[in-house]
Every structure is written in structure tokens, then in C-alpha cells.
Structure 1
Amino acid sequence: MPRYALRIEYHGAPFAGWQAQADQPSVQGAIEDALAKLEPRAHRIAAAGRTDAGVHALAQVAHCDLSRDWDPFRLSEALNYHLKPLPVAVLTAAGVADDWHARFSAQERRYFFRLLMRRAPATHDAGLVWQVPRMLDVHAMREAAAHLVGLHDFTTFRSTMCQSASPVKSLDAISIDAVEGLSGPELHFRLRARSFLHNQVRSIVGTLERVGSGAWTSGDVQHALQARDRAACGPVCPPHGLYLAGVGYPEDPFAD
């Protein structure tokens, strides 16, 4: 059966997350339903990462096995037709080797987080940013974030429901940029690692917001990390500012 990689964009608001669920809408379920319109049978796809309810994606990657040979462009066009009117789009498709796997072949994941700083409620960006009613000290946040880069036990920054075998992960990079967004001043967080723990990014961003507001110091973040205790974590920020921004592979399956 030919295998295809799919690069997928979606707005997470209408879904209970990526993973298929029997009684709630999911991104995975929506794509599998669209595949069933092309080849009528049960389909099961695998993704690079399982995003939570409300989390968005700019470039999720999944793979599917089909019975017939599809032109990748025609496959993406046909899937997009059957995905309407859901806020899910297949940006591109590509044929891959039978042993290529969207999750297990991945070497890194990249996440992007948008934080809007203004008092008035967001209108155009509602559901796409985490909004706080004050300006934050980005320099203090960068100083605190530096403590988290590298190989650490991230027990403090993972959900108690996390199923990962180990809390030890290497956070390869984290950057925080101040930008002028459509609705006002924003902070853009970019995090890169081979893999992430459940709620790790939202726990980190929520904790760094406490530093930016002056409630925590950079040293407090370092002590929280060293505590290896979930109770030491700052607030977990809401999901709607978070985006899966990209997945890296030894060879880009979508390269021309």
C-alpha cells in the first residue's frame, strides 16, 4: 500500500484535540473521514504529535496508507474538498517509503506561542492568542528562559497525566520576541526539541509570564526546575495561543 506524508494546518477550537475520540470531534477523525470518501474503508493515520483540545497547528505532519497510487497534489486537493467546511487544510502531500513514520522518523518538533498584551478584549485574534492585560518584561523572561535550555528533568513542567516514560528532555532552544501584532503588542515564543512532555510548553510559557509580570524572578524559575515537583510550577497557560509550528526529519519528505 503506498504511504503518503501530509503537512496539515488547523484551527484547534472546534476539536477535542488531534487524537480520534469516539464521542468528540478530533482533527485525526476529520482527516480519516475525508480519506474514507476517497477510498471507502476504515482509515487510521499517525501524526508527529498529539495536540490538546484548542491547540492549533501551522505544520502538523501525519502519514496515511492508501490502496491506490495518488498524485500527491490531487490527493491534497481531494482531501481539502472533503474537509470543508472544517478549519483543517492539507497544505501538501508527498509519497514516502513504506517504513517512514510521521512520529518515529521525526528528529525535532517546533512550537510557537502567541501572547497578546492589552486590556481590551481581543476581537480579530480571539481564540488565537493568550491575552494578558499588562505589558511584560521581555528581558527578564529571556533571562529566566535560559535556565530551561538544555538537558533537564522537566517534572515540574509536565502534566501529572503525562505518559512519557521519562521526564528528562533536552530543550534545544527557546526564544521570545516582542512584535507589533494585528491587535497590539505581542510576545512570540518559539521552542524547539526532539520531543516535548504533555503540557510542557504551556507550563513553561505560563511560568515565564509570572516573571514578565514581576511576580517571579529568574531565580524562581531555576529553583522550580530543580524542585522536580509539579506543585512548584507556575500557572499553565490556556491552549489557544499554542501552535505546532513544524516537524523536522533527516530528509524533508516535502522537498521538491
Structure 2
Amino acid sequence: MRAYRVAYDGRPYNGFQRQPDVPTVEDALLDALERLGVRDRADGPPPGYAAAGRTDAGVSALAQTVAFEAPEWLSPSAFNGRLPDDVRVWASAAVGDDFHATHDAVERRYRYFLHAPDVDDRRARDTLAALCGEHDFHNLTPDGEGTVRVLDGSFTRDGPFLVVDLRAGGFPRQLVRRVVGLVAAVARGDAPPAKVDRVLGADEVDGPDGVAPAPAAPLVLTGVDYPGVTFDADPDAAADARAVFAALRAERRAAASVAGCVADRLP
């Protein structure tokens, strides 16, 4: 068994997990393995295949992790030879035959870039602190089970952005984005601080009183930890990934400058 670290730009994809008739990151990975002769389409994924988690449509990743029975020659660079540019494998690790990329993860980390130039940072910090710890987050996810989690989080101010980092053993669907949505609502004054207690309470909070998820595109899966597993970066593959994402950064900065030019010059 071998585990691979995967970075990707989530914007062009309808999430990580395979779905019919829409592009997903998992489609790109499995299609590459088919072209490499590592799996046959009729047989499904390779033996032992699993991924660390399912990111939503538009969410990107630095350290998504997939594992399966891989041939010795399948280095990250070889894997990349059959992948689209916006999906890059950059490290790998030998793991035991019983390794499971989903179930063996002990911590997952996400980072959200919240554009919030005019919010009250103190209110944001107090709200995030109230959401951290062990809680039943049933009002912050559409999941009906597995909603009790121990959440840790912090944020830093980076110009107009609050960079929010969240950590937990696992995350129910949309939890990260709804936590960020609640922090933003309280920090902007759109919701009272008391809403946090209501959301964390036993009663259902939905409809107009619920918490909508923040947009997906500013979210990145930054880390997944496994006890006793050390990933070795492939120098060529990592350099290739850095070049791809540096080019994406330059492209989007230019697009932001164009939009800013129009916005600033409109009467």
C-alpha cells in the first residue's frame, strides 16, 4: 500500500468525490490510474483505495490524501504525468496493508480566507472561541449523525482577510464553512453573539434562523495527519506543483486587478 499527498485547485471541479456527469478531482485521479495501467475501469478503484475526505465543490487542497495498492514505480512524478495541471501529487509514503486513508486520520486541518475588511476582530475572536471545544454541531451541518466533535481554531488578520484555521479529528459536511459563516455574521453585526449558544443548543435552528455555509472557493484542506506515517516529498513533483499554483496566483491577481479597475472607476 502507498499513500499519496494531492494538491488541487478545486474551482473547476464539483468536489472531490466521483459523481455522474460532472468533473470531480477523484475522476481525475482514477482516470490517470487507468491510463497508467494501475487499474481497469471495469474493476473500479485499485484494491485498498480510500481518500482522507470529501471536499465540497470549489474547495481546494494542499494535502488531500489517497492510498491504494500501488506498483513500486508509481512515483508522484509518474502519477502527475497523466493528471491535469490543476491536480498535482507531490509526496508519498509506504503504509501497511491495513492502512485506510479515511479511518486512520487523527486530525484534519482547514484554512479559510474570509474577506472581512471592516469587521470587529474582537467579536470574531470571541465567537470562534465559543465554537471551539467539544460540542454537538448538529445545527451547523446537514449530517444527521457524527455531529459531536472537538473543534480547535484560531485566526490571524492579513490585510482585508481573516485567515481562519480549524482543526478536528473529522468534520461533518459543511461544518467548516458554517462555522466561518457564523463567525462572519457575528463579527459584522448581522447576528448577536447569543446566536452561538442557540446554534450549539439542543433545539433545531434552521430556516431564516439557521447558518448558511460561507462560499466554498476560499477554503483549503491544508493537512491530514496519520500516526507513524511520514510523507517524503518528490522534489520534481513538488517543484512542478509550486510552479502550477504560482501561475494560478498570478492569473487571479491579474483578474482581481482588472475587477478592481472597473469597480474603482465606475461613477
TM-score, normalised to structure 1, is: 0.82
Aligned to 1:69: 72
RMSD over aligned Cα atoms: 1.8
Equivalence for 1:177: 156
Instruction: State the 1:228 CA deviation.
Output: 4.0
Match of 2:28 among 23, 27, 30: 30
* Conserved 8 A contact 1:8-1:60: yes
Measured in 1, the distance between the counterparts of 2:196 and 2:20 equals: 39
Q: Does 1:83 align with 2:83?
A: yes
* Partner residue, 1:243: 220
More helix by share: 2
User: CA–CA distance in 2 between the matches of 1:110 and 1:195?
Assistant: 9
Is the partner of 2:75 in helix, strand or coil? helix
Letter in structure 2 aligned against 1:219: A
Read off the aligned partner of 2:126 and give its amino acid letter: E
Amino acid corresponding to residue 33 of structure 1 in structure 2: D
How many Å apart are 1:253 and its aligned residue? 3.3
Aligned partner letter, 2:29: I
Q: Deviations over 1:28-64 (max 9, x none)?
A: 1101111112225235231111011111111111112
- Separation in structure 1 between the aligned mates of residue 124 and residue 202 of structure 2, nearest angstrom: 19
TM-score by length of 2: 0.79
Query: How far apart, in 1, do the equivalents of 2:128 and 2:84 lie?
Result: 40
Which residue does 1:122 correspond to in 2?
none
What percent identity do the matched residue pairs reach? 36
Query: 1:79-228 residue pairs with structure 2 within 5 A?
Result: 79-85=79-85, 87-117=86-116, 134-159=117-142, 162=143, 165-171=145-151, 173-180=152-159, 185-228=160-203
Count, aligned residues = 225
For 1:168, the aligned partner's letter is V
Opposite residue 78 of structure 2, the aligned amino acid is: A
CA contact (8 A) 1:144 1:217 kept: no
Give how far 1:101 is off. Answer: 1.0
For 1:240, what is the secondary structure of its paired residue? coil
Match of 2:198, SS state, is helix
- Structure 1 outlier segments of 4+, above 4 Å: none
- For the 8 Å contact 1:55–1:241, the answer to whether it is kept is yes
CA distance in 2, matches of 1:95, 1:228: 46
Instruction: Please give the per-residue CA displacement for 1:149-170, whole angstroms capped at 9, x wherever unaligned.
Output: 11111111112xx2x6332111
Gaps of 5+ in 1: 118-133
1-structure distance, mates of 2:197, 2:219 = 23
Cα 1:228–1:189 change in 2 (3 A) is farther
Q: Compute the displacement of 1:234 (Å).
A: 2.6
